[in-house]
Structure 1
Amino acid sequence: MADDVRGRRIAAMRGCDRLLSGVRPATVRERLAELTAVAGPELMPDYYGDGLVGDLEERVARLLGTPAAVYFPTGTMAQQVALRYGAEVTGRRAVALHPLGHQEVHERRAYADLTGLRSVHPTTAPRNPTAAEIAALDEPVGTVVFELPLRDAGFVLPGWAELAEAAGVARAAGARVHFDGARLWESAPYLGRGPAEIAGLADSTYVSFYKTLGGLSGAAVAGTDDFAGYARAWRHRHGGQLFQQWPAVLSALAGIERELPLVPEYVRHARVVAAGLAKLPGAVVFPQPPHTHQFRLWLPHPAARLNQATLALAEQEGVWFAGGWQDTELPGHAMAEISVQGPALEWSAGDVLETGLRLLDRIQDRAAG
């Protein structure tokens, strides 16, 4: 049943003329055509991390203003290595993490189960830790992790001065600073600094190529030459020294060229979309205004009805609103994550409100029937 719903959703999104949240799913043939267009006629595949992989690593290092960057097939692998490095160079096995952080929620606590580290939580508030909270830790930690933005708190960011102060306090306490920057690219407009200046606050920074940039997969960690050498050794030990990775690497390079320049516009337009959504009956938008091009929307209806109405609107009218609705701890309310990308740029706040009202009409008609 789940596969049937997923198949209908993909088919519906592909058939839509307009999409508010997300992008139109591409077929394998379409993705291959994209890669062929990027690759020159004489371009050769990589072999165990040379060639194209090295080109991408150099590009990321330049973007982040670091001496080196190392490509990884997954972010989970990359972050394990970064935290292990912090433990070894400081002699401290504890890591300061947020309980809503990606390592805790989405990586099956790999840093602990595979690397033998343990976490301490500077705060449980739905935001990154402050300088005062880091200073108040009652034991030394090897690494302090900041997730930019903190996705499971609603894609929220600290202010620049707050982030700089917290990073400075962590370093003064003898800890390394690691930025989980899977969404670093879209954090730059809110922080008011470019990626290199942001990464300059940290000892290591992780970035993703498939989130926002639209790559097939893959990630990188950036930092000093010593850190990069360590990361390459442990990438191999973790099984990340793949024979060839050119499809993912080509798609990452394409994303840097095509999508990265558009990210500031996505972030700006997210405020327009959020303003339209906030006018829907009973809607809650958080944060308002959004910090990045992604944010959360609550509506006072069960998730099942919202998902059904979204799919029906797409199949019957060729308009995709927002999917992935989930019931929440607030009775009768469901939440969806909104991602404003290229297709959403043509939507005005009025368009958003009008389409949202049509979606809600479908739910009310179904309930009345």
Structure 2
Amino acid sequence: MSGGVDSAVAAARARDAGHDVTGVHLALSRNPQTYRTGARGCCTLEDSRDARRAADVIGIPFYVWDMAEQFHEDVVDDFVAEYAAGRTPNPCLRCNEKIKFAAVLDRAVALGFDAVVTGHHARLGADGLLRRSVDLPKDQSYVLAVLTRAQLGRAVFPLGDSTKAQVREEAAARGLAVADKPDSHDICFIADGDTRGFLADRLGESPGDIVDGRTGAVLGRHGGAYAYTVGQRKGLDLRVPAPDGRPRYVLSITPTTNTVTVGPREDLAVDTVTAERPIWHGETTPVECEVQLRAHGEVARAVVTTDGDGLTARLRTPARGVAAGQAIVAYRPDPGGDIVLGSATITAGRMASPVAAHGA
């Protein structure tokens, strides 16, 4: 129970379904005062109190589990290391993978519980496969697609068939004080929302060149390549304007040379995406499907092939702003809700020949 409206209603629905429910709030900060207060994040002291009050109203036992050290190692340290390596991580995905459905689930099973219930907006079909929520703008299947079949077998998502508006209405009817609590957003462990400053404090200043991707000319300087991500347009502070006056975008980040490469928007286009560490639930590949390349991003048609520890997606239409470190999630359209076929961590995007990119 995070202290928000979704997990509170999920707990209440699980109790109403006849399950023996215990509410658990995760203490994830070594120093809770350093995590943001109010509604901009999660894991705050306020959230803990809100979760406890919700459990009291629902009528279930409530505990706080201290997982600060593991969260710091598996999520925060990973976040910093990924940026240092020139990638753009998704900490919410990593938290689901390493904390909520690994550490928490393992402890819950050891204590005799059958499953972990969360307030994620996603659905599980009778076949055990993950599906999108009916509320597509709130769908969270993208950050859950990293879960294995074994983890999904012990997961319960009671909110997948409801919209966020319906969840809030139900919370109010149940007398839950969090009914109108704003959704959390941004990164919970960055207290002031300044990701660049957070990384600079941990990685230090590391000046380098910003170069033109076509000519190799030095266009400016940066204080640390970790402050940039592929597709970024603002905050480049370039000394040399483009000859045609058009904006430039970050095309790539090279930690070995501490170089940020920029260019026009069309140079961001890729039609082949490679990824590593796939979690695959679908049929034998290659398979024609839809892929999502970032959280809340649009889907694209693609032919996906898995091969051992790798995954390759050949996009029917080129995509822009594909960043290493993000997840690629494959979906199969289905009348009962898009089915998650699998997920992998993006390693690179490139333009291939038309035959290679569009052959099934």
TM-score (norm 1): 0.29
Q: Highest relative contact order (Cα 8 Å, sep 6+), 1 or 2?
A: 1
Larger % of strand: which?
Answer: 2
Bigger fraction of residues in helix? 1
TM, length-normalised to structure 2: 0.30
